[in-house]
Amino acid sequence: MALLEVRNLTMKFGSLIANHDVSFVVEEGAIVGLIGPNGAGKTTLFNCVSGVYKPTSGKIYYDGVDITRWPPHRVARLGAVRTFQVVRPLNDMNVLDNILVGAFLRTSSFEASLEVAEACLEMCHLEEYRNKRAGSLTIGLKKRLELARALATQPRLLMLDEVMAGLTGTELKDAMDLLRDIKARGITLLVVEHIMEALMPIADKVIVLDGGIKIAEGPPSEVVQNERVIAAYLGEKFSKRLRGMKA
């Protein structure tokens, strides 16, 4: 069943076309990757879905509801929440309080919010940093905190914008395991990512943008063999390496 459906979405900034006639479906319970070269329109598409931008034309449906021109807070309350490529912690608050901010989206009860925040703290392996000032964390921990805060809103659709960028090898493996765990808990994931070695083994489907246009969509094993994707983004040598990877 489709949780998110984007139909013929176009986003223009004056004469610049950032997305052109893009359509795709995100099935409930799946991990869907959104990839493409820099400037392909991936983050713009995220901004349209999450309500940051109002698309020039086209439609966006979430669980059958037309959310095309909804503001971000209404989209989030409905259950579609996103993170940002540049992390935005509340630097002067501690880790637990940052996560509490997300939890308060669903309830005004401190006790209920604290219970949710504690669960997200544990899920994202941030327990030892609970009282640390968010601004003092490493980039890897800040990304984990941003993910925990988004999870605290109790989303059905979680949109992640390069959550694995800048991570070490060990942190990448931990992030992949965490995304699998999130999926196992029934949360659908739409993931913008440049680190193909991390995305391809966990994605159920991959959508490829180039120049604002969708050029491919399908299982990772098919996408890495697509000639247009190889030419626009992966390159032949890297594509062969990805084909040999095992989930």
Alpha helices by DSSP H, listed for the chain, are 42-50, 72-78, 95-103, 110-123, 139-151, 169-184, 196-199, 220-223, 227-229, 236-243
Which mean pLDDT values do the consecutive 10-residue runs of the chain (247 residues) have? 95 96 97 93 95 97 97 96 91 97 94 96 95 94 94 97 86 92 96 88 95 95 89 67 57
Please tell me the predicted confidence (pLDDT) of residue 121.
96
Question: Full-prediction pTM beyond 0.85?
Answer: yes
Please tell me the predicted confidence (pLDDT) of residue 192.
93
Please tell me the predicted confidence (pLDDT) of residue 236.
59
For the chain, the structural domain boundaries read 2-79+157-243, 89-154
Residue appearing with tokens 């949780």: 3
pLDDT digits (tens, 9 = 90+) for 20-59: 999 999 999 999 999 999 889 999 999 999 999 999 999 9
Which listed CATH number (3.30.9.10, 3.40.50.300, 3.40.140.10, 3.30.479.30) goes with 2-79+157-243?
Answer: 3.40.50.300
* Helix axis angle, 95-103 to 139-151, nearest 10°: 30
Strand order in the sheet with 213-218: 80-82, 157-161, 188-192, 31-35, 205-210, 213-218
Please tell me the predicted confidence (pLDDT) of residue 247.
44
Question: In sequence order, which residues have a C-beta less than 8 Å from that of residue 100 and are 6 or more positions away?
Answer: 113, 114, 117, 152
Question: In sequence order, which residues have a C-beta less than 8 Å from that of residue 214 and are 6 or more positions away?
Answer: 22, 23, 24, 207, 208
Separation of alpha carbons 233 and 78, rounded Å: 34
What's the CA angle centered on 122, arms 118 and 125, to 5 degrees?
140
Contact between 33 and 226 (Cβ < 8 Å): no
- Return the structure tokens found at 123: 């899920």
- Return the structure tokens found at 244: 């040999």
